């Protein structure tokens, strides 16, 4: 017999954790958008305390007892509450192993290191960032043991971002992918490149802002629940399923940079806005894995956004925004230009085909850092060597090399593989979606409503109510099969470049 | 003998309260600036919980015991800690009378009512706002009793914003002021008005934004610790003495609107940024009264910002920003235009001379609302009658009448008199400052550094470490004397309009 009070306490607890999450998210959003430059210290004090309070709220014996009580009676719980108990218990068992001071220390460290990384990146000075990075890694290694001491540290971290994933799995995933795309990239390199000079003309930022609004409308975002801001690095932040923010970064001489980051972040936002109302203010409201999240963002960005039917559908409108810049350019030429595949230095600007190689390099380095076979001071050398080996490019400096991503400064070690996994999930979901309705007829008419309805039904609405593996299986129409992604890339790019593989 | 742990607990408690304050401020700032339109609900849930948690943190027996212990040994405490104990004990005694649920309810009600007020104002529909306002008043009345049940409710509220102030005091303050300025306004109305048409030309907002940056520089704000944003109603928000935000509202056809709101908010910001470092993360870091705060903002806005020497100093620069709009205009003409005194409808746009009358009307209405002699439904009629009686103007609709200010929707009853008091404090501080150095020589050279150094030394650095009355006495160089303010207004405006009083 389940006590009514136990269920109420469970709901209350989750609501409080939501409130702390919102508070910390708001401070972070502020820091990244409008906060004055030299304000990290005072914000760090506040964030450290809020993280500590939120931790104490959860990691205490009463919560442990409550979860044990509900877990013991789990067969009587309704499925959503049962899942909440399952997720919270998993978190509890893990979190209760983290001393409150260490938790706060970790939060403050991550908050401060963003600033150091920023300055180091600006100056391309890795030595400036190295001491902080060492601390971050040491701290994260300790946390990895708290998460799961039976696993190798990096496996424990990978499991945080995509449950069930480990190095063995990823080694094979990346190997099979590399085997297919490296020869393709090699063949493509012999072919002439499509002209993309019109993308690099002057695109006034005020006009690009209007264009972003249009793109968000096309994706189907309800603007009364989602705004767009501007940050150095684009991101999506959700407060709840009625309040999501995306950001972008405009470049005056590259219209596609912001165009595709807006579509990418809109994919994340669609996910968060699509979560069922009845999961709000619970741990299931935002409990998706990074892999499933990236499957949605990269679905919109690449599978839809860089497809010919989509470009054809919106091209007349793009020309309305930028008539001079695109004079004489056809939809097909625009399509070729935004799909130009070419080894490059910056991950976020990489094309769909070479992108996974950027991920593999980061994966390799993180694996070695946590495996103890690479020291922080040697990161630049290894980074540069791998870029030469995998992509054939010479890294000129830290800004265009190992200092380019913010992830490490936020201690998000183990996150990067989610991007590649997400892309692979997405490709398979698309194959499955195509069985249900004529995707390309809808997209070709600029109508993404059936696409988002399908994704909402198969994925979004569940929030964290299902395990990622289950979600992926159901949306993919079967077990996850990475060859679908490789097939998709090979098919798309051999056709684009007229290459036989 | 004071326990070391007691002092540590006291510091810890204040740091936590700082963190909750920062969290709530961040959410509020977000709501007022960039949040999507329909997001009040989820934010309200979070704000309600954070307010409740912050309340629980403070209003519990352990804190009461701690404060009692320290209070008993207050002679052994260092002065700053002694003052912290004094302020916290006063708050504790008051807060511990408020049940946690009522505290949360009040916070949520205030959060929701902003939205309703906004919509009602847009539609000039007072009936739409009335039910919420009734709830707000009922709730605030209960809180007034929690604050001080020995006082009349409105006296208890006034005391919240400016300690020691009550209706008797204000009745006499306002009466003496009215006696001096109403005849002056009457005399002025017979005189021709200076031309201010050049202020109403088209001033592009992008240019006004640059002008704001310039003004903040002139005032002496360190921009690495203070940013400016845009909101419907300008305000200043402080996180700590290294992180302050001001906002403004640009009007394309009124350059002086934003100009003076930027200077006003900069005055608030100078105060917050001037608080001593050793008061940070304690209850004294931001514990100033509204009266002292307004004394600073209105000091910069009116006493300095609308003075002839200041205008003469910055006018060449103003012309650089707006050469076409100000072609043929002299500094003296600009000075006359920004000091044009004329009865009007909107408080925030009122000139320095008629401004106090706007305050008196609000004071009168609040007094009657809490005195039980005025019902909410009758506010519009009373408001319109008093505007006719005091200012001689006809109120056309709610937007230009009793729905114009946001204060009531935030339950800030008793706040308005601080504006008038602050102006009066400021006038007397200026007289005292003039004894110490040649204020107008510095201002005339566009050098506000000695002014801000003086204010910092006399007022800012103390934060909440001194009672308002003590601060005011010391900065005014003697007991507060409202006739100084009346003298200042009469002197300035008789000269401006060539009137003999």
**pLDDT greater at residue A126 or residue B406:** A126
Q: How are beta strands A226-230 and A243-248 bridged, if at all?
A: parallel
Angle at B166 between CA B471 and CA B87, to 5 degrees: 45
pLDDT tens-place string over residues B56-102: 899 899 999 999 999 999 999 999 999 999 999 999 998 888 887 89
Q: Is residue B348 part of a domain?
A: yes
Cβ-based contacts of A50 with chain B (< 8 Å): 19-20, 23
What's residue B64's pLDDT? 96
User: For position B103, what pLDDT does the model report?
Assistant: 82
| pLDDT score recorded for residue A107 | 82
- Run of H or E residues at B236: strand B236-240
**pLDDT for B286:** 87
Q: In chain B, how long is the greatest CA-to-CA distance?
A: 73
Close Cβ partners of B299 (under 8 Å, ≥ 6 residues apart): B267, B426, B429, B430, B455
Residues B128 and B236 in one domain: no
Together in a domain, B318 and B367: yes
**The one catalytic residue among A265, A294, A364, A366:** A265
Asked which of B128, B152, B176 is the last residue of a domain, the reply is B152
The per-residue pLDDT for B2 is 87
Asked if pLDDT for residue B1 goes beyond 80, the answer is: no
For residue B22, the model assigns a pLDDT of: 97
Q: Is there a domain that residue B326 lies in? A: yes
How high is the pLDDT of residue B418? 94
- Is residue B190 over pLDDT 80? yes
| B175 within domain boundaries | yes
Among B219, B206, B282, smallest CA distance to B18 is for: B282
Cα(A35)–Cα(A118) distance, rounded to whole angstroms? 15
B140 and B180 in a single domain? The answer is: no
Chain A residues whose beta carbon lies within 8 Å of the beta carbon of residue B243:
35-36, 39, 42-43
SS3 B405: coil
HEC readout, A132-189: HHHHHHHHHHHHHHHHCCCCCHHHHHHHHHCCCCCHHHHHHHHHHHHHHHHHHHHHHC
**For residues B407 and B273, is the Cβ–Cβ distance under 8 A?**
no
Span B113-137, pLDDT tens digits: 988 999 999 999 999 999 999 999 9
Q: Is the pLDDT of residue B112 over 90?
A: no
Q: Which residue has the higher pLDDT, B103 or A185?
A: A185
CA-based nearest residue in chain B for residue A23: B23
Interval A181-191 mean pLDDT: 94
Query: Measured between CA atoms, how close is A418 to chain B, in angstroms?
Result: 29
Question: Least CA distance to B45: which residue of chain A?
Answer: A19
Which own/partner contact pairs does A124-131 have at CB distance under 8 Å and 24+ positions apart? A124/A397, A124/A398, A124/A399, A124/A403, A125/A398, A126/A379, A126/A380, A126/A398, A126/A402, A126/A403, A129/A403, A129/A409, A130/A376, A130/A377, A130/A379
Written in H, E and C, the secondary structure of A346-395 is CHHHCCCCCHHHHHHHHHHHHHHHHHCCCCHHHHHHHHHHHHHHHHCCCC
Percentage of chain B beyond pLDDT 90 is 91
Band (A30; pLDDT cuts 50, 70, 90)? very high
Q: Do B49 and A19 touch (CB under 8 A)?
A: yes
Q: Determine whether the interchain pair A42/B240 forms a contact, defined as Cβ–Cβ distance below 8 Å.
A: yes
3-state secondary structure B180-196: HHHHHHHHHCCCCCCCC
CB contact under 8 A, B34 and A225: no
Judged by CB atoms closer than 8 Å, whether chains meet at B49 and A16 is answered as: yes
* Residues of chain B with C-beta less than 8 angstroms from the C-beta of A223: 36-37
Contacts of B30 in chain A (CB under 8 A): 26, 29-30
| pLDDT for position A411 | 96
Whether B254 maps to a domain, the answer reads yes
Q: Which residue of A has its CA nearest to B44?
A: A19
Cβ-Cβ contacts under 8 Å, B19 against chain A: 45-47, 49-50, 53
Residue B373: count other Cβ atoms within 10 Å of its Cβ. 9
In the structure, what pLDDT confidence band is assigned to residue A224 with cuts at 50, 70 and 90? very high
Is the model's pLDDT at B108 over the cut of 90?
no
Q: Are residues B141 and B229 in the same domain?
A: no
Is A94 part of a structural domain of the chain? Answer: no
CB B358 within 8 A of CB B392: no
Statement to judge: residues B135 and B177 lie in one domain: no
Rounded to an integer, what distance in angstroms lies between the CA atom of residue B409 and that of residue B40? 14
- Whether B160 is covered by a domain: the verdict is no
Among left, alpha and beta (phi > 0; psi -120 to 50; other), residue B392 is left
Asked if B212 and B315 sit in the same domain, the reply is yes
Question: How close, in Å, is residue B367 to chain A by CA atoms?
Answer: 37
pLDDT at B251: 96
Q: Does B18 touch chain A (CB under 8 A)?
A: yes
Q: Sheet harboring A226-230: ordered strands across?
A: A226-230, A243-248, A236-240
Q: Are residues B145 and B172 in the same domain?
A: no
Domain boundary at B121, B152, B183, which? B152
Phi, psi of A384 (to 5 degrees): -65, -40
CA-based nearest residue to A170, from A291, A345, A29, A31: A291
Average of per-residue pLDDT across B433-451: 98
**Distance between CA B393 and CA B380 in Å, rounded?**
14
Q: Go through chain A and tell me how many residues it has.
A: 501
Provide φ and ψ at B411, rounded to 5°: 60, 30
Task: Decide if B357 contacts B181 (C-beta within 8 A).
Answer: yes
Percent of chain B as helix, strand, coil, to the nearest 5: 70, 5, 30
Nearest to A23 among B39, B50, B225 (CB): B50
Asked if the structure places residue B264 within a domain, the reply is: yes
> Quick check: is A492 in a domain?
yes
The residues pairing with A237 across neighbouring beta strands, listed in sequence order, are A245
| Contact status of B209 with chain A (Cβ, < 8 Å) | no
Q: Does B58 touch chain A (CB under 8 A)?
A: no
Q: Does A62 touch chain B (CB under 8 A)?
A: no
d(CA B245, CA B237): 5
Set of chain B residues whose Cβ sits within 8 Å of the Cβ of A224: 36-38
Would the pLDDT of B375 be above 90?
yes
Across the range B288-306, mean pLDDT stands at: 96
Structure token digits, residue A400 = 């265009």
Number of domains present in the structure of chain B: 2
| Rounded Cα–Cα distance for residues B63 and A142 (Å) | 35
Query: What CATH number is given to the structural domain containing A307?
Result: 1.10.1370.30
Contact A258, A240 (CB under 8 A): no
Tens digit of each residue's pLDDT (9 = 90 or more) over A429-451: 999 999 999 999 999 999 999 99
Band of residue A286 on the pLDDT scale cut at 50, 70, 90:
confident
Q: Do B129 and B182 belong to one domain? A: no
Average pLDDT, integer, range A305-329: 98
The Cβ of residue A478 has, within 10 Å, a number of other Cβ atoms equal to 12
pLDDT band at A257 (very low <50, low <70, confident <90, very high): very high
Whether residues B180 and B246 fall in one domain: yes
Q: Where among B152, B178, B200 does a domain terminate?
A: B152
Mean pLDDT of A147-170: 95
Tokens at A279, concatenated: 């999961």
* pLDDT, position B111: 78
Q: Mean pLDDT over all residues of chain A?
A: 95
For residue A2, the model assigns a pLDDT of 87
Query: What is the mean pLDDT of the segment spanning B235-259?
Result: 96
Give A421's pLDDT tier (boundaries 50, 70, 90). Answer: very high
Residue ranges making up the domain that contains B346: 167-497
Same domain, B211 and B116: no
Q: How far apart are alpha carbons B493 and B265 in whole angstroms?
A: 24
Average pLDDT over residues B320-333: 98
Average pLDDT over residues A307-334: 98
Return the active site residues of B.
265
Q: Pick from A435, A479, A263: which is nearest to A352 by CA?
A: A263
B225 and A36: CB-CB below 8 Å?
Answer: yes
Q: Of all residues in chain A, what percent carry a pLDDT higher than 70? A: 100
Distance CA A222, CA B484 (A): 56
Q: Is A194 helix (H, G, I), strand (E, B) or coil?
A: coil
Task: Tell me whether residues B37 and A224 touch, CB distance under 8 A.
Answer: yes
């Amino acid at each position: 017999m389940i006590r009514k009070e136990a269920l109420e306490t469970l709901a209350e607890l989750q609501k409080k954790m939501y409130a702390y999450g919102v508070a910390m998210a708001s401070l972070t959003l502020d820091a990244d958008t409008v906060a004055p430059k030299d304000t990290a210290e005072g914000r760090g004090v506040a964030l450290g305390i809020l993280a500590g309070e939120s931790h104490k709220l959860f990691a205490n014996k009463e919560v442990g007892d409550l979860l044990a009580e509900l877990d013991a009676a789990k067969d009587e719980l309704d499925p959503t509450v049962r899942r909440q108990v399952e997720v919270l218990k998993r978190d509890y068992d893990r979190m209760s192993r983290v001393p409150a001071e260490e938790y706060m220390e970790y939060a403050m460290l991550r908050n401060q290191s963003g600033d150091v990384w920023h300055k180091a990146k600006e100056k391309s000075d890795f030595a400036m960032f190295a001491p902080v990075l060492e601390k971050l890694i040491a701290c994260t290694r300790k946390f990895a043991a708290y998460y799961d001491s039976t696993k190798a540290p990096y496996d424990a971290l990978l499991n945080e971002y995509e449950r069930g994933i480990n190095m063995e799995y990823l080694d094979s995933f990346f190997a099979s992918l590399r085997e297919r795309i490296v020869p393709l990239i090699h063949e493509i390199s012999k072919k002439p490149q499509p002209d993309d000079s019109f993308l690099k003309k002057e695109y006034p930022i005020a006009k690009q802002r209007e264009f972003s609004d249009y793109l968000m409308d096309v994706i189907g975002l309800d603007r009364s629940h989602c705004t767009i801001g501007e940050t150095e690095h684009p991101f999506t932040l959700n407060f709840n399923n009625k309040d999501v923010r995306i950001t972008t970064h405009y470049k005056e001489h590259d219209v596609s940079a912001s165009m595709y980051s807006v579509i990418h972040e809109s994919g994340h936002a669609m996910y968060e806005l699509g979560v069922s109302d009845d999961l709000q203010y619970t741990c299931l409201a935002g409990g998706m894995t990074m892999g499933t999240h990236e499957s949605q963002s990269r679905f919109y960005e690449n599978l839809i956004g860089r497809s010919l039917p989509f470009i054809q559908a919106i091209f007349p409108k793009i020309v309305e925004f930028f008539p001079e810049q695109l004079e004489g350019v056809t939809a097909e030429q625009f399509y070729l230009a935004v799909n130009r595949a070419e080894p490059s230095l910056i991950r976020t600007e990489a094309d769909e085909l070479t992108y996974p190689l950027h991920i593999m390099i980061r994966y390799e380095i993180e694996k070695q850092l946590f495996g103890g076979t690479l020291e922080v001071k040697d990161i630049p050398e290894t980074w540069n060597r791998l870029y030469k080996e995998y992509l054939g490019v010479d890294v000129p400096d830290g800004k265009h090399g190992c200092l380019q991503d913010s992830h490490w400064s936020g201690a998000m070690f183990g996150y990067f593989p989610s991007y590649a996994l997400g892309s692979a999930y997405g490709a398979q979901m698309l194959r499955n979606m195509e069985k249900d309705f004529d995707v390309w007829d809808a997209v070709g008419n600029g109508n993404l409503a059936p696409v988002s309805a399908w994704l909402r039904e198969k994925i979004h609405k569940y929030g964290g109510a299902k395990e990622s593996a289950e979600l992926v299986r159901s949306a993919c129409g079967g077990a996850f099969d990475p060859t679908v992604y490789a097939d998709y890339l090979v098919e798309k790019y051999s056709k684009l470049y007229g290459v036989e593989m």
